[in-house]
Amino acid sequence: MRLLETETGQFAEFTDLADLRYAILSHTWDPSGEQTYRELRKLRKAFTPEDLPLSASIPDHGTIDSESAKDHLRVSMRQSATWSEPEVASSSEPPSPSDTYSSTDTMRASSFLDDGRISLKIRMACAVAREHGYRYIWIDSCCIDKSSSTELSEAINSMYLWYSRATICYAWLADVPDDDEPDAEDSAFRRSRWFTRGWTLQELIAPRLVIFLSDQWSALGTKATLAAVVEEVTRIDQAVLLHQKSLEEVGVAERMSWASERATTRVEDQAYALLGIFDINMPTLYGEGTRAFRRLQEEILKRIPDQSLFAWGDAYLEPLPEAEDALLDQRRFVCLTKYSARSLFAASPAEFLRSGSIRPVPHNAYLRRLGLSNVPLPEYASSPYGTRLQIPILPISLCLPPWSVSYQEHSQTSDWCFALLACEHSRRPGHLLARVCRVVPSIHSQVEELHSGFVAITQARRYSDYPKSFTLSPSQIVQFRSDIASKTIYLPHQQRIVSPSPNPTIVSRAFKLSLSPWASSVLQKQGYDIAFRNPTQISPSTYGLFLSRDDYTLKMEFEYSQDSFVSQEGLRFAIWDFHLDATLSTPQSDSEAPRPCHQVWWETQSGFPDFELVDPLGNEVTLQLGLDAAPGSPDNSFDLRIEVIHRRTIHRERIFSAAA
């Protein structure tokens, strides 16, 4: 661990932290950047005491008015420091003299830390720590050599330990003034950016003593004196904040929920910032993107027997229809996976926003509730097919009246099940959480995969809820006990991310659509005749595209639509299967055309899904679509991207239209 000496600005390295007293800084990084370890070393090498003016002190920017801090940074007229010592001291023991200073010793020799080129944040942090008697301080921005991936990975994996071992942690809130009243409902303290960042979560929990400092570096209070306010802001139990309750006593889902509204600059840090919260060590691989959070969850499964990890998303707490009053129940249920991630692993901590009330159920209690004795302890094993697990499942069709439930197209009723998790909702004690899932054959082998699903619930012909989980009461578990089966199944690997769009595409009602000339020429070269239909008076918001080749036609429509039944508005795409002997003279009169084989809505983040078709000649065809903002055109004008992939040709034929 590399520490900064608060008196001289020297770096000192330690391998044994057992008896070391040091302060540590928690802060939010300036968007314009922070002074790094290498920058500080460069300044340090070039520094001599003669560089300082005779009365150097903290520059007055109209915000720093602490006289004690100025005293500590004021250059003494006595130039007595020695600059021949090595730049970095390395020791397993704290270097002499003592690792504490007298807080009354305000007159001191000129120091590297008096140099105005050193960032004000570093100088003030050292001044406050020195005033409180601490010889050493750790500041992440300048005590880690981030140019070394090895050192950075070690620091990230050690971060929680370092904060927990610190004698004192200073949490500097750069956006909270001196005169703020943290208890007030609209206080700047409650709104501070510090509470919204991913890394500050463990920096809040790990240390025993946290001093909150204002923008002027004055004390606002401690974690203990402000515990009630901090609990309201963070939703973290005071007992956890004050180390009266260990993190191991808190469920995985609840711990994840603490991070659900926190942001990080790098997507990988959504996972790395939580390593200490779950006592996990794993290599850091910047560039892996969202795979970091998937890896974290897999590591959690290996260490913590808590299935609340799968309890992300909304939970529906209302009872399911009972047999005796099912006919009077107006609710309707639609089982879907189309707009949902396929994995039971969450994509990010944000998925756990509403999971703070989920609690794990011990295995013995879980077995008693199920009334089963043949359910083994949960184990999770990595394999080429994904993560293998054994879990009790219950067919959804048995739990809902047949007239009240429908299923996603191209899926079988038997595909859908509840995975019975060993956890409960705090508002439904004694119940078990039932996760909506779909069992799907793996494309790689004869094994089966468990995909995440959700249920769209309608009441009075309008969708009201979209839960991923339900709660099963003890009586319902008894009712369906004979139908519960323990199943060995696989959670599939994360899908490869291929050329994601840099920005989400938002389509509004007055959209304009076109096919680029380049796309037309490529289509024609492949043998397609093209008819692109603009909106008409009859269909003012509908574009049509017809691709004809070898006596068959592929018909597509793009329409901005509003569906009151599903409470959805946006761009809807419809595609009809291949039509034999179709001609291009019929695009305007399609009232008698058969129903489309696919209808989907444009998703802002993910676009359209791929479509699998079979042409009249028996060739497998994949259709891929996308929208790009048309360059040089008004807002809401788009170029249509199309890829038609014929699977059985020697060379994959691709049709690709991009912005001209």
State mean pLDDT over 486-510. 69
pLDDT at residue number 420: 97
Question: Which comes out higher in pLDDT, residue 497 or 42?
Answer: 42
Q: Is there a contact between 312 and 468 (Cβ–Cβ < 8 Å)?
A: yes
232-249 core/surface letters (b: 16 or more CB in 10 A; e: else): ebbebbeebbeeeeebee
Neighbours of 274 (CB within 10 A): 26
Residues 6+ apart with CB under 8 A from 229: 182, 183, 187, 189, 190
Q: Is there a contact between 137 and 125 (Cβ–Cβ < 8 Å)?
A: yes
State mean pLDDT over 34-40. 92
Residue entry with tokens 């901090």:
230
Q: Is there a contact between 127 and 220 (Cβ–Cβ < 8 Å)?
A: no
pLDDT at residue number 619: 78
What are the tokens at 131? 């005033």
* pLDDT above 60 (res 345): yes
By C-alpha distance, which of 596, 595, 598 is closest to 624?
Answer: 598
State mean pLDDT over 153-164. 97
DSSP state of 497: P
pLDDT at residue number 656: 35
Work out the percent of the chain whose per-residue pLDDT is above 90: 52
Question: Which comes out higher in pLDDT, residue 180 or 503?
Answer: 180
Question: Which comes out higher in pLDDT, residue 365 or 657?
Answer: 365
pLDDT at residue number 642: 82
Virtual torsion, Cα 398, 402, 404, 406, nearest 10 deg = 90
* pLDDT above 90 (res 134): yes
By C-alpha distance, which of 107, 112, 105, 8 is closest to 52?
Answer: 112
Cα 25 from Cα 1, distance rounded (Å): 14
What are the tokens at 89? 């001291």
State mean pLDDT over 85-97. 41
String of DSSP letters for 343-377: SSS-SSGGGGTT-TTEEE--HHHHHHHHT-S--PP
State mean pLDDT over 542-553. 86
User: For 103-132, what is each residue's pLDDT tens digit?
Assistant: 444 444 457 788 888 999 999 999 999 999
* pLDDT above 60 (res 560): yes
pLDDT at residue number 140: 94
Neighbours of 391 (CB within 10 A): 23
C-alpha gyration radius of the chain: 31
pLDDT at residue number 539: 82
Question: Which comes out higher in pLDDT, residue 39 or 73?
Answer: 39
Largest CA distance in the chain: 99
* pLDDT above 80 (res 55): no
pLDDT at residue number 185: 95
Question: Which comes out higher in pLDDT, residue 239 or 599?
Answer: 239
User: For 42-53, what is each residue's pLDDT tens digit?
Assistant: 888 877 655 544
Q: Is there a contact between 36 and 71 (Cβ–Cβ < 8 Å)?
A: no
* pLDDT above 60 (res 68): no
* CB-based burial label for 498 (10 Å; 0-12, 13-18, 19+): exposed
Neighbours of 546 (CB within 10 A): 23
Question: Which amino acid type is present at position 51?
Answer: D
pTM equals 0.74
Strand pairing partners for 483? none
What are the tokens at 556? 């597509």
Question: Which amino acid type is present at position 112?
Answer: F
